[in-house]
Amino acid sequence: MTEQLDPRSEQITRRIRDSIERDDLPLSDDRSRMRYVMNNLVLHIHPSKVARPTLQFTYTWGLGGLAILLFTILVVSGVMLMFVYTPSPETAYNDMLALQTDVQFGQLVRNLHHWSGNLLVVVAFLHLLRVFFTGGFHPPREFNWVLGVLLLLLVVGANFTGYLLPWDQLAYWAVTVGSSLLTYIPLIGEGLSNLILGGPEVGAATLTNFYGLHIAIIPLAMMMLISFHIWRVRKDTLTIPRGADEPPADRVEKVTTIPHLVRIELVFALVMIALILLWASWVNAPLEAAANPDHSPNPAKAAWYFMGLQELLLHFHPFFAAIIIPGLGLTGLMMLPYLRFDQLTEGIWFRSSKGRRMALVGALTGLLVTPGLVILDEYFVDLPALLPSLPTLISNGWVPLAGLLLLLVIFYALTKRLFRATQDEARLSLFTLLVTAFIVLTIIGVAFRGEGMALMWPWEALA
Amino acid sequence: MAQKTVISLLVVTIVGAFIIGLYDAVRPSLASDAAVEEPAQVAAVLPTATAEILVEPLATADALVDAAATTPLQQSLDNVGDTWTRDGVITVLDDFGMTLELSDGSSVYVELGPPSFWQAQNVPLMVDESVFVNGFSNGEQIHAATVLLPDGAQLTLRNETGQPLWSGGTGGGNVQGQSEPLTQVSPEDWVTFSGIISSVSNSTVTLKTSDGPMTVQLGQQRFWQDQGVTLAVGDEISVLGIWQSSQFQVAEITKTQTGERIMLRDPNNRPLWAGPGQNAQGSGNSGGQGQSNGGQGSSGGNGQGNGGNGQGNGNGYRGGRGSN
Ligand code: HEM
């Protein structure tokens, strides 16, 4: 009787196992293999088959996947941190000290969270570059690019709000510097800053605000957006990699996701976890003296990923440095997939063999011109003094920006004329130039600015 | 079409800025230089006297800061405080002062004034050296007037009344009468703001005051940066200046925490970086040399005559810079 009512196996271990894994491991025939594949959770994330060329590691570099892995590590280690942390100026810093000294593996958990968070900023940015340089944003993937940009903003926002929580000098002043940028938004800037900080300056209310954003709002938003993003990748499928100047293949070979893709993902994830654990065991997350609102470190620097912006502030009127230029940059980034293209280049690294050279031209130009302009402005040109009758908003804002934009226009026109680049190749070159410039500015801000944000030469910076 | 419009806008901006720049450069008198013009012409006639008048009220720099709204600038000499005389051992030395360990074991910070001034006297101070300080204390800050070294060398920084010699000497009584036609700015116009710096560039500093953010112009970059005071985001500062139409012009910036100061304009709101004025150019252009003499001379204590003989109408600040 029982056998008819309950068709399950007689062994309890087997019954348990079957409840989790409904089908046997893939059999040799294609049909049962496919059934195994269809019934698997993995396939709610991946399609059942993927194009073989996309498995090539040097196409995606596993960066999107790595971002998901890091996000997972962040959630797990973050929840652990919540057990010991109270977001109040009286307790926060002591909690960090206690975590590092009294709690078993406390320092390791903190290190994991800290380094994964910083790495995620880098990885998300590199993933953006990978997608850009392989033309992964072309239709139908335009909107997924936009989702990606939003995700990048959330990653930075999560990092920024988390920066404050240890309530040490670094945290306090980086957030003071970073949030002061908001006040330059016309009309609403002051109000917005007050809203986010919970008052005119960083204090207890800021800490609770940031805590809420950091542990609930931003992670939830990220989870939703990541699901959306991955779902779109699944629906649109990944772009198929191909060689430069190679036409798109009519037919691509497809292989089952399990085991071909999952195997790679698993190995990659394990290797990365090992590396991150190793790093976190050896390198401690920084913790400085307790926050002291009366005494700022000199120089007071923002978090490293904002140093490009802080560097701009030294050269432009704050309204331009903090609002207009980043605003233009972000708008450009979001609109990029919606520009018309004149070549079908998706799946090709750097568009074409000429595109490769154009990327190099852009990178080299950015590498040489950016430090040049910084030095020029630092030591030789003082626009407000040369144009005393204009308000600085113009003389140190619009005028230098117009100059730079004009240079970019000229650069763009030159790449087309000199190298006979197509529109896509010229755009690629320009994008590379801007990205390089941003990275160079960030490096100058992080490494070559000393006391009072004075410029240091490399030999001084090293000394 | 849209492209052409944008590009034209950019080109127009650059060409326009260039033309305005040229115009600014050749225009004989700018609004902000109006105050400069007159004293400069008088200077041609009466070099010595003018120099002192221009500079005198700046004498006590503290004064400027405290002289918010109502206090006449000249009054606040007493701010340097009472005489203070001690000997001690230098434990820390920086550009603007030194920390002394006194015989009773306590430590105090003694202000020495602008590095360009005292370092030019070639009386090297060193950590671990014991020195004898004659100066003034107002309960908060200690200002050195003279620092005597064991080998007899002496740094001279202020006169008997506490007036800093780097500001160009002590104005005599005669100054009062003469300053009348020259003063463009009445003491009541001076106002002070304080707040926390939210951003600094080469030529502006933005601070958060209780009334909201405010951006002030620092004038010529090299001039203020040469004064050796660093401004960083997060520093609390107070700025003293006046409103000229809708522009706020700063005379002086003081860092609240350290008391360090950046001087930008004299009490007539004349920009110090503008130099001695057109007519004095001839004597001033011998460059750093001639100007540093100004600084040196005044260290000797004869602040009176020095302004005149160092350089046309050197105003102390130039002297300081030149010797740098
Ligand atoms: C937390 C941040 C992010 C996560 C977790 C994430 C995750 C992923 C994953 C797993 C893929 C599959 C392919 C791969 O691994 O490269 C992917 C593809 C893609 N991502 Fe992201 N991504 C993130 C941020 C971004 C950003 C910043 C952008 C660009 C602005 C972006 C745009 C795209 C696009 C357009 C694709 C499709 C590329 C193709 O088909 O070749 N993503 N993303």
What is the domain-level CATH number for residue B104? 2.40.50.140
Provide the pLDDT for residue B312. Answer: 31
- How far is A190 from A184, CA to CA, in rounded Å? 8
- pLDDT exceeds cutoff 60 at B36: no
Q: Are residues B195 and B115 in the same domain?
A: no
Q: What kind of architecture, by CATH, is found in domain A44-312?
A: Up-down Bundle (1.20)
CA A62 to centroid of ligand 1, rounded, Å = 10
Are residues B65 and B135 part of one domain?
yes
When pLDDT is averaged across residues B230-247 and rounded to a whole number, the result is 79
Q: Is the CB of A238 under 6 A from ligand 1?
A: yes
Across the interface, whether the CB atoms of A403 and B14 are under 8 A apart is answered yes
A183 near B CB under 8 A: yes
pLDDT of res. A36: 73
User: Residue B73 — pLDDT band, cuts 50, 70, 90?
Assistant: very low
**What pLDDT, on the 0 to 100 scale, is given for residue A364?**
98
Q: What percent of chain A has pLDDT over 90?
A: 65
Is the pLDDT reported for residue A378 higher than 70?
Answer: yes
Residue B3 within a domain: no
Residue A141 Cβ inside 6 Å of ligand 1? The answer reads yes
CATH of the domain at B253: 2.40.50.200
Determine, yes or no, domain membership for B117.
Answer: yes
* Interchain CB distance below 8 Å, A296 and B217: no
A442 touches chain B (CB under 8 A): no
Q: Clarify whether residues B253 and B320 are in a common domain.
A: no
- B164 part of a folded domain: no
pLDDT band (50, 70, 90) for residue A415: very high
**Residues B314, B257 share a domain:** no
Pairing of strands B107-111, B142-148: parallel
> pLDDT tens digits, residue range B164-218?
776 643 333 333 333 333 345 666 777 888 888 887 877 778 888 877 777 787 7
CB distance A388–B32 less than 8 Å?
A: yes
DSSP state of A421: -
**Ligand 1 binding pocket includes A151 (Cβ within 6 Å):** yes
The whole domain housing B323 covers 174-182+270-324
pLDDT in tens, A257-291: 888 999 999 999 999 999 999 999 999 999 988 88
Residue B166 placed within a domain: no
How close A178 comes to chain B (CA, Å)? Answer: 9
Identify which has the larger pLDDT, B65 or A328.
A328
Cβ of A229 below 6 Å from ligand 1: yes
Q: Which among A354, A344, A333 is positioned nearest to A415, based on CA atoms?
A: A354
Q: How far is B171 from chain A (nearest CA, A)?
A: 32
Element (H, E) at B89: strand B82-94
Domain spans of chain A, in order of start:
44-312, 350-463
Half-sphere exposure of A61 (CA within 13 A, CB side): 14
The pLDDT value given to residue A391: 83
Predicted confidence at residue B177, as pLDDT, reads 30
Pairing status of strand B107-111 against strand B154-156? unpaired
What is the SS3 assignment for B109? strand
Residues A388, B199: C-beta atoms closer than 8 Å: no
CB B199 within 8 A of CB B115: no
Residue with more model confidence, A231 or B77: A231
User: Count of domains in chain B?
Assistant: 3
- Rg (Cα) of chain B, in Å, rounded? 21
Residue B314 phi/psi, 5-degree rounding, is: -50, 140
Rounded to the nearest integer, the mean pLDDT of chain A is 91
Residue whose C-alpha is closest to residue A223's, from A158, A129, A276, A130:
A158
B20 near A CB under 8 A: yes
Residue nearest to atom 43 of ligand 1 (CA): A64
Boundary (domain end) residue, out of B248, B263, B278: B263
Q: Are residues B100 and B225 in the same domain?
A: no
Domain presence at residue B125: yes
**Is B207 found in the same domain as B178?**
no
Q: Which of A183, A396, A398 sits opposite B198 (nearest CB)?
A: A183
DSSP assignment of A73-136 equals HHHHHHHHHHTT---STTTHHHHHHHHHHTSTTHHHHHHHHHHHHHHHHHHHHHHHHHHHHTTT
Q: Decide if A452 and B198 are in contact by the 8 Å CB cutoff.
A: no
Lowest mean pLDDT segment, chosen from B37-41, B226-230, B244-248, B318-322: B318-322
Across the range B282-290, mean pLDDT stands at 30
**Residues B43 and B149 reside in one and the same domain:** yes
Which one of B203, B231, B233 has the shortest CB-CB distance to A177?
B233
Residue whose token pair is 């000294």: A101
B30 reaches A (C-beta below 8 A): yes
| A315–chain B Cβ distance below 8 A for any pair | yes
pLDDT at B296: 32
Residue A54 contacts residue A60 (beta carbons within 8 Å): yes
A183 interaction partners in chain B (CB closer than 8 Å): 198, 208, 213
Q: How confident is the model at residue A190 (pLDDT cuts 50, 70, 90)?
A: confident
Q: Encoding tokens for residue A30?
A: 């294609």
Structure confidence at residue B252 (pLDDT): 85
Q: Do B232 and A409 touch (CB under 8 A)?
A: no
B-proximal residues of A, 370-389, CB under 8 Å = 377-378, 382-389
State the pLDDT confidence band at A41, using cuts at 50, 70 and 90: confident
Q: Does residue A136 line the site of ligand 1, with CB under 6 A?
A: yes
pLDDT at residue A181 in the model: 79
Q: Which atom of ligand 1 is nearest to the CA of A333?
A: 30
- Domain identity same for B56 and B84: yes
pLDDT exceeds cutoff 80 at A303: yes
Q: What is the DSSP string of B298-316?
A: HHTT-HHHHHHHHSTT--S
pLDDT at B84: 83
What is the model's pLDDT at position A2? 59
For residues A161 and A206, is the Cβ–Cβ distance under 8 A? Answer: no
Query: Quick one: average pLDDT of B276-283?
Result: 34
d(CA A108, CA A323): 38
B236 in the same domain as B108: no
Mean pLDDT of A18-28: 73
Which of B24, B206, B217 faces A318 most closely, judged by CB atoms?
B206
Q: Does B34 touch chain A (CB under 8 A)?
A: no
A138 lines ligand 1 (CB under 6 A): no
In this predicted structure, which of A57-61, A240-244, A314-318, B214-218 has the lowest mean pLDDT?
A: B214-218
In the numeric block, the tokens 């650069």 are attached to A411
Is A335 an 8 Å CB contact of chain B? Answer: no
On whether any CB of chain B is under 8 Å from the CB of A200, the answer is yes
Q: Is A57 exposed, middle or buried (0-12, 13-18, 19+ CB in 10 A)?
A: exposed
Give the pLDDT of residue B322.
Answer: 28
Segment of A333-347, B107-121, B281-295 carrying the highest mean pLDDT = A333-347
User: Is B197 found in the same domain as B215?
Assistant: yes
Residue B114 lies in a domain: yes
Residue B66 banded pLDDT, cuts 50, 70, 90: very low
Q: With contact defined as beta carbons under 8 Å apart, do B167 and B61 qualify?
A: yes
A26 pLDDT higher than 80: no
Whose Cα sits closest to atom 42 in ligand 1? Answer: A148
Which of B10, B25, B199 shows the shortest C-beta gap to A405? B10
Is the pLDDT confidence value at A188 over 70? yes
Domain annotation covers residue B10: no
Name the residue with the closest Cα to ligand 1, atom 25. Answer: A148
B207 and B79 co-located in one domain: no
B30–A388 C-beta distance less than 8 A:
yes
- A chain contacts of residue B30, beta-carbon cutoff 8 Å: 388-389
User: How high is the pLDDT of residue B44?
Assistant: 35
pLDDT given at position B122: 67
CA B10, distance to chain mean position in Å, is 39
Which chain B residues are within 8 Å of A174, Cβ to Cβ?
none
pLDDT digits (tens, 9 = 90+) for A54-112: 999 999 999 999 999 999 999 999 999 999 999 999 999 999 999 998 899 999 999 99
Residue A368 contacts B where some CB pair is shorter than 8 Å: no
Mutation target for A interface from B202, B216, B229, B246: give the one with most A CBs within 10 A: B202
The secondary structure of B25-43 as a DSSP string is HH-S--GGGHHHHHHHHHH
- ipTM of predicted assembly, 2 dp: 0.78
Residue A439 pLDDT > 50, yes or no?
A: yes
* Token code pair at residue A364: 């080299």
Contact assessment for residue A412 and residue A362, using Cβ atoms and an 8 Å cutoff: no
Residue ID of nearest Cα to ligand 1 atom 13: A64
Q: Is A314 on the interface with B (CB under 8 A)?
A: yes
Q: Is B214 on the interface with A (CB under 8 A)?
A: no
Q: How far is the CA of A271 from the centre of ligand 1 (A)?
A: 20
Of all protein residues, whose CA lies closest to atom 7 belonging to ligand 1? A64
Residue B20 belongs to a domain: no
CA B255, B258, B261: angle at the middle one, nearest 5? 45
